[in-house]
Chains A and B, each alone.
Chain A
């Protein structure tokens, strides 16, 4: 069950990133929008979407948008989701956004994340404006009809409400300890 509702403030976090530094949500306070995406390594839905995540960051960086991916999966049961494997994935796919490790799963629980990938998009005031999927087709990027996250970003950047504020996140379940 999602703990955060549209209109709620972002929940702070301070998590280690694959770049070797700790990342605090506060460091993004100057951004025009922050998309926190609960993600992981092993999930095929994430793997199907991650090139699109990289492209979204590339397309919106100059507009002050920041994506932040967070992996909270239990790496004891799912070793492909370990921190060393996260570093490999970030390097292999040229992630242009922070990829953070939520080892205690506290941030994922606080946000109410249930799936990977699952997007929480906050505007410049840190208010949740969109929650859900990146777009409507995990299987084939050429068959996407509605680009939920891009549409929400365009709206947030123009100071309007996203045309669709919530969609059902589609993906693997978060692997709880």
Chain B
């Protein structure tokens, strides 16, 4: 499983988001290195197709894809399960994505 964590330094939620990601990988017994990528410029955002901070990619897939997103070194909004907006993905969002990727791994082996 390939795990990438992209963030912008100016957005305060990235530490908490990375902690949540690490916690989920631990609980799911996923032994994967997290590639941590800092994105601070529009050029870097375009190159990474980066919709904002924090972005978590599991096997290349955004855990909460935003259709037609603009790319910018800014904070992104997550729509939580209860409809609230948050600067952070919920733990359950991360879990869902990791479990789906685990499922893909099992079915392809």
Contact = CB atoms under 8 A, between A and B. Distances in A.
A45 B42 contact: no
Given A139-B87, A139-B88, A170-B12, A44 B75 contact: yes
A104 interface: no
A45 B53 CA distance: 12
Given A47-B85, A138-B87, A77 B72 contact: yes
Contacts, number: 42
Interface string A30-47: 000000000000111101
B75 A172 contact: yes
A142 B95 CA distance: 23
Contacts of A12: none
B75 A45 contact: yes
| Overall SS of chain B's interface | loop
Contacts of A16: none
Interface string B1-22: 0000000001110000000000
A43 B72 CA distance: 12
A6 B76 CA distance: 32
B10 A172 contact: yes
| Overall SS of chain A's interface | loop
A53 to B, nearest CB: 13
A77 B75 CA distance: 14
A45 B87 contact: yes
B72 A44 contact: no
Contacts of B70: 79-80
Interface in B63-85: 70, 72, 74-78, 84-85
A78 B12 contact: no
Nearest to A115: B12
Contacts of A44: 75-78, 85-87
Interface of B: 10-12, 42, 70, 72, 74-78, 84-88
Interface of A: 42-45, 47-48, 77-80, 138-140, 170-173, 175
